[in-house]
Amino acid sequence: MNRFIKSILFSRWAAFIHDLCWVPIVILLAYWIRFNLGNIPGIFRSSVTSLILTAVPVQGVAFWIFGLYRGLWRYASLQDLVRVVKAVTLGTLVLIVVTALMFRMYRIPRSVLLLYPLLLTVGLIAPRILYRWFTEHKFKLRSEDGARTLVVGAGTTGEFFLRDLVHRGEYLPVALVDDDRSKQGREVHGIRVFGSIKDLAVLVDKLSIEIVLIAIPSADHSLVNRIVNQVKDQDVQCRIVPATMQFVEDHFDVNQIRQITVEDLLGRDPVQLDYSAIGKYLRDKTVMVTGGGGSIGSELCRQICEMDPERLIIFDHGEYNLYEIDHILGTRFPELDIVPILGDVKKKKRVSWVFETFNVDVVFHAAAYKHVPMLEHNPAEGVQNNVSGTMVLAELADKFECDRFVLISTDKAVNPTSVMGATKRIAELFCQNLDGKSKTKFITTRFGNVLGSTGSVVPLFERQIREGGPLTVTHKDIRRFFMTIPESVSLILQAGSMGIGGEIFVLDMGEPVLISDLAEQMIRLSGFIPEKDIKIIYTGLRPGEKLYEELFHDSEKLESTGHSKLMLAGSRHYDWTWLNSELATLLSSAVDRDVIEVKKTLRVLVPEYMHDQE
């Protein structure tokens, strides 16, 4: 009930009624002033009534015309005050014209019409200014029970946020920092700009800061890292204003503030794409994505849908994943023909039916077993899925003369130490060598880990943090490349537009990340102190795991592609008859689950593959 009453009291209708009430009040005041603060003579009282009855509707219309009720009083700005002046001016001019025509200004003192706009302007503006002043300074009157907050950035966004933070009980802004020297030492809404970002650590300790809020929507990952590293050894939370911050009623919505994520720290500058080239080979085409319900596959489907294909075929063996991505895309792209197909890439009849029925133009092959330790325990299944499945799909793409076939590979295919890496390397080799015999363009894209993908280290750490730890890292020196899922998929689509067949496109992964550092960062981002609140333990390298991942083999001469984020690795060609003979041996051994023969043949096909001899 109290909430209902409050919503009525602070609604735009309440503000409208308030403003209308000022009209008769200022008319009476104008007459009172005109007659030297004494009684209004009887002969003028009828004109008072006439003027009020005319002014109220005239002025009310003017208020609505100039939008006095679009904003909220607590965010009253100069723009709102200008609207008031315009509305009063228009109302006064109309009032003068109406009274002249209707009443011939009979017994309406001219001074009243001069005083009226002045008094009304003051009457409308003063409550707005007082209300905003009170709401912005009321935090000084309450007990300081909010989290002591330091805002990074004293620019426009910082000013907007600081103005809103004072209304929120969970925040108590006490300081600002900004690298702009001209802002240092000044105050924004009564809060001082104490210094620059390099002073963060000292200020957090000196002012007992509990939350550091980054109010710079354009902050890139290097700036976020710099800020987080400044306070990494202190018990303080870091939060950020999202880059896609939305305005609500001419102000920022504080509810959009969020915790800093690992993506903020490891993310990179936006990828520049040639959308016309990507659209050229996807628009009005039938596109098939295998593993379309997985982390990479589902994002591929989302981005492909935005390129206006004629049809999207989502092929996946997981019923729930397929249902989920079909539902999401069907809601978002209701006009697009989306065909969800349950199936296994190893089943040639099922895959052949898809190609024959839908006349597939482009294939993105993302379906694969990718968990390294799991395939070390199940090498035969890894071979059947990653090698046989790719062969089935690639041969049918060739048979039905698809325009292009894009294989999603991995950095683990380079100098592989695992069954998973070796199987993906063989998939690369098969597609590269098939390209020379086919009208279909076979293109391979190779990259490292993606943040948040199923089975990756980031979701594992998140779960372990929720459970109170410990975080398990296999080795203190282990490093991995990381890339966000949207970025990796964008580059896959770009590579698909650039390939002429037989290439391996290597995605620029930036600098490798020390996993122990990543674990510590994620613990701090969750509001805990590494080793004090949550432990990190080192469990030793798992079967097939490498300390350092590589993106290309020594014999693969890298070339520029003209795109800053894509490189080209040289192809390795085999005798086609020999390759197929060895593949037949490999697949036969996998079907028989002869693990020793499987690994032996993997080594023949991929000489650089290193494994413990059985």
CB neighbours of 542 closer than 8 A, spacing ≥ 6?
372, 373, 376, 474
Residue type, 494: Q
Q: Which residue in the list 412, 441, 546, 565 is annotated as catalytic?
A: 412
| Cα distance between residue 583 and residue 392, in whole Å | 12
Give the chain's count of helices (H) and strands (E): 22, 24
Residues 62, 91 contacting (CB under 8 angstroms): yes
As given in the structure block, the two tokens for residue 194 are 């104490």
Which ranges in 379-446 belong to alpha helices (H)? 379-383, 389-399, 419-435
Q: In which region does residue 578 sit, left (phi positive, over 0), alpha (psi from -120 to 50) or beta (all else)? A: alpha
Residue type, 136: E
Question: Nearest-CA neighbor of 504 among 418, 442, 417, 575?
Answer: 442
**Tokens 């023909």, residue located:** 337
Q: In which region does residue 501 sit, left (phi positive, over 0), alpha (psi from -120 to 50) or beta (all else)? A: left
Length of the chain: 614
| Cα distance between residue 181 and residue 196, in whole Å | 8
Which DSSP helix (H) or strand (E) runs through 475?
none
Question: Nearest-CA neighbor of 483 among 240, 270, 260?
Answer: 270
User: Beta strand pairing status for 504-507 and 566-569?
Assistant: antiparallel
Q: What angle do CA 56, 59, 64 make, to 5 degrees?
A: 120
Residues 423, 386 contacting (CB under 8 angstroms): yes
| Cα distance between residue 478 and residue 540, in whole Å | 10
Largest CA distance in the chain: 117
Question: Nearest-CA neighbor of 411 among 542, 607, 512, 550?
Answer: 550
Residues 175, 150 contacting (CB under 8 angstroms): yes
User: What are the Cα distances from residue 568, in Å, to 486, 490, 592?
Assistant: 21, 17, 37
| Cα distance between residue 105 and residue 302, in whole Å | 70
CB count, 10 Å around CB of 156? 11
Residue type, 79: Q
- Catalytic site residue 412? yes
Q: What angle do CA 210, 215, 221 make, to 5 degrees?
A: 95
Indicate the DSSP class of residue 412. G
| Cα distance between residue 189 and residue 520, in whole Å | 36
Catalytic residues: 412
